[in-house]
Amino acid sequence: MRVMLKVWRQNNSKSQGVFEMYPVKNISGDMSFFEMMDMLNDRLVLDGKTPIAFDHDCREGICGTCGLFINGRTHGSLRGITTCQLHMRSFKDGETIVVEPWRAKAFPVIKDLIVDRSSFDRIMEAGGYVSIKTGGTPDANAIPIPKINVDEAMDAASCIGCGACVATCKNSSAMLFVGAKVSQYALLPQGQPEARERVLNMVAVMDEEGFGSCTNTGACEVECPKEISLEHIARMNREFLKANIS
Amino acid sequence: MSWVTTFLNSSIGKKTIMAITGLLLCLYLVIHLAGNLTLFGGADFFNSYVLRLSAFKPLVRIIEAVLLLIFGGHIFNGLRLSIENRKATDKKYQSNRAQENSSFSSKTMTITGSVLLVFLITHLATVWYSFQIEHSGGEFFKIIIGPVVGLGNLSVAVLYGVAMVFLGFHLHHGFQSAFQTFGIRYNRYGRLIEIISILFWFIIPAGFLWIVVYFGFLGGVK
Ligand code: HEM
Ligand code: SF4
Ligand code: FES
């Protein structure tokens, strides 16, 4: 198959970007979207042009490094996948595919399709951890935890920090990400000693970094590759309100 | 006191103010609609209802002051959130299929709210004001259905009708959203909230709309 790629090109964070058109031929439906991009980049290099910069690492949906806005949806239009898990068979032969970087003030473009997500790291530094001495491997059953909490905490912890929630949000809000990170500790006994400071500090840094405020549109839940539920935002709100009145 | 200002200026704090004031306004809508339904009892019935309310003037004034505070908080915070959220976004996407991931009403809260604001100001400046300067006691019903500021004036009737449709959209998202903000939308209460929500986004706006249609377009109670 063949497609026409309409890709955002931008030299650096200061420069003005533009869309460029790239026809790509000889694509197999079994290729991943990134393999198709690799093929295009090889050709650009051979032609003496600058290849398209895009973020990727594991290419199996676990690291959270990749993330493109494809044809108006984060990570493409399929549910529950990252961009690296997207295959060319989900596009039509001859289709024009618009490829854009995540757009949010807190995620400035570094080059082409790569954005700076270090704002997420700074939110994590503000409280996305537990300060306990771990020592040797602890006995998994030493602390009894209700199964339902374990499952919920695990669901929250599956957030890979890709930033799709911010990218799709009309307010560029990071509340699904922060909600997941607050929740994964709020649900477990190990998270309790620092629960209050955690939610206060993480929300404060989230606001400082310039993310918007959630208006509960629910777009993030639909677009999240790990299908993180809005319930985690609700839990963060509860934790935040609790922290403020206690 | 500083934790209060920190809270009020935080993203979740502002959301919380929206939710509290929004739900209080919903409560007010119920009371307001109940009062309006006396219009169907005819001129004498409605006039005596308004007169009876006027007998508690000090109490009415206190309620009005509280309402002003609630509306003020809601509008101030709503506009502030809209502006700040716009600032948080970068360039628009060339292609954005947002209709596939979120509802129309959730994305238009600022627009529907602003239309409600225009309606609110008009309503206060005309009907509320006319009621304040009307002392003879028997003219309230005439003001409501009359051709000046009432539903007998086509542009007033149209504005009121349109505003009620926007109210429906505003509350379609707003009512259940407030519970999510408090953190109770998504556990076992989700279904219940969805059902009660119908009262607010459909039945109540439809009730107000029916008054507009009945008295503005169908001739009303003679
Ligand atoms: C009778 C009138 C009104 C009622 C009953 C009402 C009710 C509500 C409710 C329940 C919410 C949801 C709060 C939440 O999401 O937590 C809301 C949100 C909102 N309201 Fe109103 N409202 C009214 C008038 C207005 C007016 C006059 C404005 C003028 C600007 C306005 C602007 C907004 C905005 C911007 C939001 C969005 C906040 C968000 O989505 O989180 N509203 N309203
Ligand atoms: S919540 Fe989902 S969309 Fe947001 S960063 Fe985590 S994995 Fe990505
Ligand atoms: S490259 Fe690791 S999740 Fe896509």
Provide, for chain A, the percentages of residues in helix, strand and coil under a 3-state DSSP scheme, each rounded to the nearest 5: 40, 15, 50
Residue nearest to atom 8 of ligand 2 (CA): A162
Nearest to A69 among B88, B93, B182 (CB): B93
End-to-end CA distance of chain B: 58
- Residue A186 has a pLDDT of 96
| Stretch 108-167 of chain A: residues touching chain B, C-beta under 8 Å | 108
CA A17 – CA A105 distance, rounded (Å): 15
Are B173 and A240 a contacting pair at CB < 8 A? no
pLDDT at B135 over 80: no
> What is the percent of chain B with per-residue pLDDT over 90, rounded to a whole number?
81
Residue recorded with tokens 């249609």: B213
- Residue B3 has a pLDDT of 83
Nearest to A218 among B12, B102, B184 (CB): B102
Strand partners, A97: A5
Are A107 and B87 a contacting pair at CB < 8 A? no
Poorest-pLDDT segment among A175-184, B138-147, B204-213? B138-147
pLDDT at B100 over 90: yes
pLDDT at A137 over 90: no
CA atoms within 13 A on the CB side of A74: 29
CB B200 within 8 A of CB B32: no
Q: Model confidence over A31-50: pLDDT tens digits?
A: 999 999 999 999 999 999 99
Are B96 and A223 a contacting pair at CB < 8 A? no
Interface of B with A (CB under 8 A): 3, 6-7, 10-16, 81, 84-85, 87-98, 100-103, 106-107, 109, 173, 177, 180-187
Are B100 and A69 a contacting pair at CB < 8 A? no
pLDDT at B117 over 60: yes
Distance A154 CA to ligand 2 centre (A): 14
CB A145 within 8 A of CB A188: yes
Mean pLDDT of A4-20: 96
CA B7 – CA A233 distance, rounded (Å): 17
Are B11 and A203 a contacting pair at CB < 8 A? yes
Residue nearest to atom 3 of ligand 3 (CA): A61
- Residue A64 has a pLDDT of 97
pLDDT at B111 over 70: yes
Distance A54 CA to ligand 3 centre (A): 11
| B198: closest CA of chain A, how far (Å) | 18
Ramachandran bin of B42, using left for φ above 0, alpha for ψ from -120 to 50, beta for the remaining angles: left
- Residue B1 has a pLDDT of 57
- Residue B222 has a pLDDT of 61
List of chain B residues whose C-beta atoms are within 8 Å of the C-beta of residue A104 = 88-90
Q: Model confidence over B151-190: pLDDT tens digits?
A: 999 999 999 999 999 999 999 999 999 999 998 866 678 8
Chain A residue closest in CA terms to B104: A217
Mean pLDDT of A52-71: 97
Residue recorded with tokens 């420069």: A15
Helices (H) and strands (E) in chain A, counts: 8, 7
- Residue B4 has a pLDDT of 87
Poorest-pLDDT segment among B43-52, B126-135, B166-175, B196-205? B126-135
Are B186 and A230 a contacting pair at CB < 8 A? yes
Q: Model confidence over B2-55: pLDDT tens digits?
A: 888 999 999 999 999 999 999 999 999 999 999 999 999 999 999 999 988 888
- Collect all residues with Cβ–Cβ distance below 8 Å to B197 and sequence separation of at least 6: B171, B172, B175, B176
Q: Which domains does chain A have, with CATH numbers?
A: 3-110 (3.10.20.30), 118-245 (1.10.1060.10)
Of A34, A58, A68, which is best to mutate to test ligand 3, by the most ligand atoms within 8 angstroms of its C-beta?
A58
Nearest to residue A112, comparing CAs of A101, A96, A98? A101
Residue recorded with tokens 């198959």: A1
CA B103 – CA A217 distance, rounded (Å): 7
Of A226, A227, A231, which is best to mutate to test ligand 2, by the most ligand atoms within 8 angstroms of its C-beta?
A226
CA B34 – CA A76 distance, rounded (Å): 49
Q: How many CB atoms lie within 10 A of CB B69?
A: 12
Residue recorded with tokens 């969805």: B194
CA A86 – CA A30 distance, rounded (Å): 10
Number of the ligand 2 atom closest to the C-alpha atom of A227: 2
Give the confidence band of A95 by pLDDT, cuts at 50, 70, 90.
very high
| Whether the CB of B178 sits within 6 Å of ligand 1 | yes
| A161: closest CA of chain B, how far (Å) | 19
pLDDT at B205 over 60: yes
Segments of chain B assigned E as strands: none
Tokens of B113: 């709210």
CA B61 – CA B43 distance, rounded (Å): 24
Are A73 and B84 a contacting pair at CB < 8 A? no
